[in-house]
Structure 1
Amino acid sequence: MRCDVCDTKIPPGADRCPNCGYRVRHSSTATHTQATSANYPEPEVFKPKRNKKIYIPRREKSRDRSQRTKTSTFRKYIIFIVALIAVVQMASVFIGNIVSNYNSHNYTEFSGESLQEGIDNGDDDGTLQLALDYENDLKSFFSDDLLMDVDVSESYDIYEDNYSAYVNVYGTDNVISLTASINFQNQEPYLQSITLSWNNQGTIRENDINLDQAQIEKINEKFNIDIFGAIEEYKSKLKVDEDDNTRFVVSDYKDDESIYLSESYGIDGEYFIYLSLGQDIGDN
């Protein structure tokens, strides 16, 4: 028998061509099986070798883990210490600059919140005593003449050879709140601000002013101001929006005087009125 592909003579009993391996037609099962077993052995299946597991004692594992933890913690400590040193150096430079600027610009050398303590400590050229006397006079005026509950705040600064004192006296009753702020410098008053606020029945642009005439006259005389005159002059200048219920403000400055007037809509038809009159006084 010859191969149908390469025409090579096939030995009896063979089921494949010895030259090209072509399967011979009409071969028996037994012959095919024998030929396959004899000439074409079953391929060996590759089985990878399993890696041999290396046993590490638990104590060794724990020791290794502990060592890694110590190394990581130590590294963190080093980083923290380096960062802390850098922050301290930066803070030192910053504080040094502040101190340098403080000294170079001659900032306030001393300050306090109690005029009497400043006087008792000898930190006074007469300015603090003048301010304290004025404060006591205002407290009597607010409580005895205006029948108000009174509170005060005060402070002072010493800058090189300049002495400054600040006095604020607050008074309230059932209708108005009044604040008198006076600044003193080098034994003289040099700035005064009088602030008055109250609730008005309706806008002051169209309704009567809800203030006691006699009380306002006492305030005018004490501080040499004109409250009613200022209201009449500036109430027409209040800025009004379309809804007529928001805050209206007007302010003006002329010569050594300033005025600030505002009106805001409250509840039950009341309007909150705020008036501040400031003026330079003294020769400073």
Structure 2
Amino acid sequence: MKTFVIKLAQAALLLCAQTILGQQFYGKAVYETKMRPPSMEVKGNTMSPEMQKMIEAQLKSQLDKTFLLTFNQTESNWEEEQKLDAPQPNMPGVNVKIVNSGDGRRYTSLKDKSSVSEQEIMGKEFVVSEKLPVWEWKITEESKKIGNYTCYKATAIVKVTPEERAAYERNKAEMAQNPKRVIIIDEPQDYEITAWFTPDIPVGHGPENFWGLPGLILETNDGQRVTLCSKIILNPAEKPKIFVPKDGEKVTLEEFEQIREKKMKEMQDMPQGRGERQVIRIGG
């Protein structure tokens, strides 16, 4: 226990010292994400087991992704690795979509405790600014190796926001009013996030919008989505550049959520062909 506390204290002191003395620690980290598809509720027409398997395969191909975290002591970029989509099986009358997956390019400033991200809705680009979430991490003595790094376990509770609850109720009502629609929807619930961080890399960054531990976060798991670091390049000869997204209409997170809800309602109200099913992923 004493060794564990000393190591964490040393990492925290090193992190503070580097922040005071300047941005001395930088690099890149590659992360792989695996996500369990949400539950499916089918209204109206029955769906064969073969069709359901094909839909699940399409969802999996859209949910399993690779990301790059570029960081220095106080700033970072998080962006998806671009790759060609694999050919999808032909499923007449079925449209598989991932709506607002939240995987747009993101800039994070630990100094300002804020982030700026690129988001897109129906072809329109937005630049969304928001404050970083406050994570009340509980650090444990439990440890494991990820690659060559010793990592320690930390947990935090993610609370459902009133906006998420209201959006769920609206979408639930929409599902009841459209019996021919197949909607993939998960009821929002408070959940625990588990993070594994390494004091060997004393920066406060992590994947997505996770931050605030005395070491780089190499793995997160919320019970549905696992994000795991597969490669790290520290202090390369050429210092990586950190950018702030600028291309798109500038909005706050609250404004973006209002626009998203409006556009989703418009999309759901679009007329469908006879016998057509539409598969919609609610949330990110």
Same fold (TM over 0.5): no
Q: Which has the higher helix share?
A: 1
TM-score bracket, shorter-length normalisation: under 0.3
Please tell me whether Structure 1 or Structure 2 has the larger radius of gyration of its CA atoms.
1
The normalised TM-score by structure 1 is: 0.20
The normalised TM-score by structure 2 is: 0.20
